[in-house]
Amino acid sequence: MADSKHLSQRPNLRAHRGRRRESRRKSSIFEEKTIDIVSPGHLVGATNHVFCMGRRFATAYQCLERSAITRHWKSVSGKRLTPRKKGSPPRRQGPSKEDLTMSLELCTDDLPPTDSLEALEKASKRIRKICTFLQSRGNVPSNLLKRNLHYIADVLDIVVTDDARRFIDEDDELSEVEPDAVPMEVRDWLASTFTRSASVTKSGEKEKKTFRSIVQAVRAANLVDRLYRRMSTSAVTYPPTVMKLFKQLDDWSFDVFALNEATNGQALRYVTYEIMMRYDLLAKFKIGVGTLFNFLEALEVGYSKYQNPYHNLVHGADVTQTMHSILFQTGLVQWLTDVEIFAVVFSAAIHDFEHTGETNNFHVMSRTETALVYNDRAVQENHHISAAFRLMTDDNLNIVYNMSKDDYKDFRTLVIDMVLATDMSYHFAQVKQMKSLLSCPDNIDKAKALSLVLHTADISHPAKNWILHEHWTELLMEEFFRQGDKEQELGLPFSPLCDRKTTMVASSQIGFIDFIVQPSFEIMSDMLDKVVAPISPRGSLANQSNATISEKVEGEGSPQNGDQSEEPFEFKVDRVWDGHLTGNKVKWKELSTKDQAEKEAREKAAQKEKADSEAQTQNTPDDKAEDKKDRESSPKITANGTVSPGDAVKPSTSPENDEQASTKEEAVGKASPEHVEKRSTEGEKKGSIDSITVKSVTKRKESGV
């Protein structure tokens, strides 16, 4: 009865539920009607309803996802999932998680075309995935493995075909360039210069209007870009005299004065451009020739701003060429990256940009605006860097426009370190630091090593031939003397080597070479030996010879008496500067000896003249007294014309008077020589003090250069 009653009431229950759904639909938020008063029961029911619907949607989404994965697995594995027969053993419900992961990662549906640029990278990654699955699982489904291997083989075939065509068929690389890619005259020039045909298109064939692959498109674009750069650089022609001088650009004692005369005062731009072309920096960093020449012209204007005798564009060109000679002749360039080579050339070119012709100490003592801006620390060097990089804020002068952010960061950091190291106040600290680094040659920092090389190149003219060194010395001393004149006008004490009257040039250069230049070259040479030896062919041969000698000694034992054992060969760079340093120092010593002799002769002549004048001044009163005595003792003419004898002509008959007279005569006779001797002694003493002062000043200046 209960069951029948329940069944009889079931239609009423369904009708009740239907009415409830209808009422909810009418009172939903989608209708324009609003409900002012909502009971708690309605809120609870609505919340439960939303929760149930969300759970149903989530369940449905999971079912759809499973069915999609199952269908994908059936398509890739080839298995048919038939319903299990009654009484058969239970089977696994669907593929495992590892199988699904492997099928998704090895799927070949979304791979790029085999002739595209990304295909080679995808093929490489796919091979690594297959190896990973074979190592972890031990097997890979045959259909997946077959599809992937076919794809990889197709990609490799295309790569091999392209490479073979690039080396065998010269015309293919140019014939596949689209007509609109480059101008027609460029195409004709490419064909006539780099191929054996007179035209890009072959006779009887239509010109292809599409690239066969993206790989060929990239290759052709790079080729055209290089050729455009070659065409633009070919417009820069050198005069015959400049070409002749550039044949010696790698030499240590390059005559930069002759180059400046041949280029009408444009040595810096020609030297910098030629060196950058030799290192292929324009092509590697996509620097336009016009932009580079605009920048170099602005550099020359800045170097000529103050009309300095020494720190001008010729000095900038000389230091740039010296850095190139060190890099090239020693093999140091093999140790550097392209960014570092660019930074080295750039630092040498700008290292004295807008130099005022005075020292940093002068700026600090005179309280110039530059010293106030840079807080008395490396005043000139900070200005060189800041002003040079400020030039490149102009797009027409920005030669680092196409450099990547990481390369520019490394480039700027290295330039700042190198140019700041040219401050002479850091000299001894820099040499001491490099000596400590050489104790562990494997840990030599590139920035510190290159900074030392630039600092040495900046003071390298004493290590050049005598003609160049003497000319540079005259220009430098004139610039120092001009600073001394300014210091005298401002009431400041003379800086070392800045007084025109007391500076001994030869002695100062000897001290400069002994204490500054020669130690710098010695420590730089030792550093180059450590750095270049592992990368130089001569260094590798030296290591091999050392090993051979050691093996020979170990195999044969100690040499017998009378046999000379071979000494192991130690690699050293060619130190061409040592001979010039020694020869120049010998010449300065000869000049110093001559100058010292002339100075002593001048001092003696001045002392003698001074002593004679003082002696003459002291003898003048005695002479006047004698003249007065003679006038008194001379005969006098009276009024009547008679002559009366004076008192002095009367003979003295008293022995006391005779004794007093003789004593007075002796005193008078001895007074003058003693006085003269005393005065001469005082003059010699004063002259010796002046000589000691000059020598001490000279010594102090020599040690402070």
DSSP sequence for 20-87:
HHHHHHHTSTTSS---S---HHHHHHHHHHHHHHHHHHHHHHHHHHHHHHHHHHHHHH----PPPPTT
C-alpha span between 649 and 630 (Å, rounded): 10
Are 255 and 267 contacting, i.e. CB atoms less than 8 angstroms apart? no
C-alpha span between 510 and 462 (Å, rounded): 10
b (16+ CB within 10 A) / e for 575-586: bebeebbeebbe
Mean of pLDDT values over 556-574? 56
pLDDT of residue 616: 82
506 pLDDT more than 70 = yes
11 pLDDT more than 60 = no
Q: Which long-range contacts (CB under 8 A, 24 or more apart) does 474-479 make?
A: 475/309, 475/310, 476/309, 476/310, 477/503, 477/505, 478/309, 478/310, 479/308, 479/309, 479/310, 479/311, 479/357
pLDDT of residue 14: 61
What pLDDT, in 10s, does the model give residues 284-298?
Answer: 999 999 999 999 999
Within a 10 A sphere around the Cβ of 135, how many other Cβ atoms? 8
Backbone angles phi, psi at 268, to 5 degrees: -65, -45
Mean of pLDDT values over 697-703? 44
Q: Which segment of 5-19, 219-233, 474-488 scores lowest on mean pLDDT?
A: 219-233
C-alpha span between 56 and 148 (Å, rounded): 40
Q: According to the annotation, is 143 in a ligand binding site?
A: no
What tokens appear for 615 in the block? 């002696």
Mean of pLDDT values over 183-189? 47
Residue 360 exposed, middle or buried by CB count within 10 Å (0-12, 13-18, 19+): buried
Mean of pLDDT values over 576-580? 95
pTM over 0.75: no
Between the two ends of the chain, the Cα-to-Cα distance in Å is: 125
Are 418 and 385 contacting, i.e. CB atoms less than 8 angstroms apart? no
pLDDT of residue 547: 44
DSSP 411-454: HHHHHHHHHHTT-GGGHHHHHHHHHHHHTSGGG--HHHHHHHHH
Q: According to the annotation, is 62 in a ligand binding site?
A: no
186 pLDDT more than 50 = no
Catalytic residues: 311
Are 398 and 522 contacting, i.e. CB atoms less than 8 angstroms apart? no
276 pLDDT more than 70 = yes
> In the structure, what pLDDT confidence band is assigned to residue 15 with cuts at 50, 70 and 90?
low
What is each CA distance from 322 to 222, 251, 420, in whole angstroms?
34, 9, 18
The C-alpha angle 373, 379, 381, rounded to 5 degrees, equals 125
pLDDT of residue 233: 45
| Of 437 and 55, the one with more pLDDT | 437
pLDDT of residue 136: 78
Q: Which of 5-19, 92-106, 523-537, 630-644 has the highest mean pLDDT?
A: 523-537
What is each CA distance from 627 to 630, 634, 643, 661, in whole angstroms?
5, 11, 20, 17
Q: According to the annotation, is 215 in a ligand binding site?
A: no
C-alpha span between 504 and 623 (Å, rounded): 44
Q: According to the annotation, is 518 in a ligand binding site?
A: no
In sequence order, what are the beta bridge partners of 643?
637
DSSP state of 200: S
Fold of 424-459+504-603: Catalytic domain of cyclic nucleotide phosphodiesterase 4b2b (1.10.1300)
Backbone angles phi, psi at 455, to 5 degrees: -60, -40
Mean of pLDDT values over 165-190? 47
C-alpha span between 254 and 321 (Å, rounded): 8
Q: According to the annotation, is 445 in a ligand binding site?
A: no
Q: According to the annotation, is 351 in a ligand binding site?
A: yes
> In the structure, what pLDDT confidence band is assigned to residue 359 with cuts at 50, 70 and 90?
very high
337 pLDDT more than 70 = yes
pLDDT of residue 430: 94
The candidate with the shortest Cα–Cα distance to 260, out of 311, 325, 322, 315, is 315
Same fold, 238-420 and 424-459+504-603: yes
What pLDDT, in 10s, does the model give residues 207-263?
Answer: 444 444 554 555 555 555 554 454 444 457 899 999 999 999 999 999 999 999 999
> Domain residue spans in the chain?
2-77+98-231, 238-420, 424-459+504-603
C-alpha span between 453 and 422 (Å, rounded): 10
The candidate with the shortest Cα–Cα distance to 585, out of 671, 462, 677, 704, is 462
Question: What percent of the chain has pLDDT above 90?
Answer: 42
Rounded to the nearest 10°, the torsion over CA 78, 84, 85, 91 is 100
> In the structure, what pLDDT confidence band is assigned to residue 74 with cuts at 50, 70 and 90?
low
The candidate with the shortest Cα–Cα distance to 498, out of 616, 384, 365, 600, is 365
C-alpha span between 56 and 50 (Å, rounded): 10
DSSP 659-674: HHHHHHHHHHHHHHHH
Question: What percent of the chain has pLDDT above 70?
Answer: 58
pLDDT of residue 159: 73
What tokens appear for 605 in the block? 């002549």
> In the structure, what pLDDT confidence band is assigned to residue 704 with cuts at 50, 70 and 90?
very low
Q: Which long-range contacts (CB under 8 A, 24 or more apart) does 434-437 make?
A: 434/523, 434/527, 435/523, 437/527
12 pLDDT more than 80 = no
Q: According to the annotation, is 355 in a ligand binding site?
A: no
What pLDDT, in 10s, does the model give residues 409-422?
Answer: 999 999 999 999 99
pLDDT of residue 599: 85
pLDDT of residue 575: 94
378 pLDDT more than 90 = yes
Mean of pLDDT values over 589-599? 90
C-alpha span between 1 and 7 (Å, rounded): 10
> In the structure, what pLDDT confidence band is assigned to residue 25 with cuts at 50, 70 and 90?
low
Domain 238-420 class, CATH top level:
mainly alpha
C-alpha span between 146 and 307 (Å, rounded): 77
At which residue do the structure tokens 């006098």 appear? 636
Grouping H, G, I as helix, E, B as strand and the rest as coil, residue 171 is helix
Pure H helices in 557-654: 577-633
Q: Which of 112-116, 376-380, 549-553 has the highest mean pLDDT?
A: 376-380
What pLDDT, in 10s, does the model give residues 618-637?
Answer: 766 555 556 555 555 555 54
pLDDT of residue 85: 56
Q: According to the annotation, is 312 in a ligand binding site?
A: yes
Q: According to the annotation, is 509 in a ligand binding site?
A: yes
What tokens appear for 85 in the block? 């027969």
Mean of pLDDT values over 547-557? 43
